[in-house]
Amino acid sequence: MKHWAIWVLTAWVLAALSALLLQLHPNQIHLDAILAKPNLSYLLGFDDLGRAILPRLLEGAQVSLLVVFVVTAVTSFFGISLGLVAGYYGGWVDRLLMQITDVFLAFPGILLAIAFAAVLGPGLNNLVLALCITSWVGYARLTRAQALSLKQRQHVMAALSLGASVPRLMFKHMLPLLAAPLLVEATYSMAGLVIAEASLSFLGLGIQAPNASWGGMLRDGVRYMLVAPHYVLAVGLSLMSLVLAVNVLGDRLREKLETRKS
């Protein structure tokens, strides 16, 4: 299962990157091929406007991976930094930062993202901003919990006694020891971001037409499930395969981490 997940994830990344180099014309309309079934020339058929599904599927993969990587980079940096500060200083700083974190935890992440996306308006930039606002909490809590114990380690105390600055203590002496659990957290977060991006686009709060997104394609395809099931199946199976592959890799990383600890 692990090797299957690696191959699927690698295939999607390569497909999204290769689509940037190829002129696929995802918005080209063929009026004589509306909802046409897959054939040898067009492997996934056409949508309700006569556009080839495969190029649009690859464009949607680009959007999903772009959103996932940007949001993961921003939220992991912010959440890890906040967690290190809270865990290292403790006291009122820890209580204040964790109370702010608890406010975000009080609401389901996807509902909070929908609320922010609705307020900010549809579009790629606002979608990324809404997901960044709501996706840092897991990194902050995990980092804070680990930092509370790591700051008592002998090598951290030795570096402090030698005059190391607080940022150096956090990012050079403490953060490397957090790499493994944070990597596991990142994989689960990335799978959730794929679903969140598709969900917001499905509701009309994400990527707007004529640009392709998997959520938008699902929204358009559900109306034709009985007459053109290939439309929904192509998008749904693609979304499922990507999310499943990321989750499987996360499980494998977690199992290896637990094995090393034991």
The tokens for 141 are 């809590």
**Contact of 180 with 150, CB cutoff 8 Å:** no
Tell me the pLDDT tens digit for each residue of 209-225: 888 899 999 999 999 99
Closest CA to 112 of 29, 177, 196: 196
Q: Are residues 175 and 217 in the same domain?
A: no
Tell me the pLDDT tens digit for each residue of 18-77: 877 877 888 899 989 999 999 888 889 999 999 999 999 999 999 999 999 999 999 999
* Residue 232 falls inside a structural domain: yes
The tokens for 249 are 């890799």
Q: Are residues 113 and 189 in the same domain?
A: yes
CATH code, domain carrying 182: 1.10.3720.10
Q: Are residues 214 and 152 in the same domain?
A: no
Q: Are residues 79 and 204 in the same domain?
A: yes
Question: pTM of the prediction?
Answer: 0.91
Q: Are residues 132 and 219 in the same domain?
A: no
Helical residues (DSSP H) of the chain, grouped into ranges: 2-21, 53-89, 91-105, 109-120, 124-134, 137-150, 154-161, 166-168, 179-202, 214-221, 229-261
Q: Are residues 80 and 204 in the same domain?
A: yes
Structural domain count of the chain? 2
Q: Are residues 222 and 147 in the same domain?
A: no
* Residue 49 falls inside a structural domain: no
The CA distance from 5 to 241, in Å, is: 8
Over range 136-161, report the average pLDDT: 88
Range of the structural domain that residue 223 is part of:
209-241
Q: Are residues 200 and 220 in the same domain?
A: no
* Residue 127 falls inside a structural domain: yes
DSSP-assigned letter for residue 207: S
Q: Which of 208, 233, 255 is the last residue of a domain?
A: 208
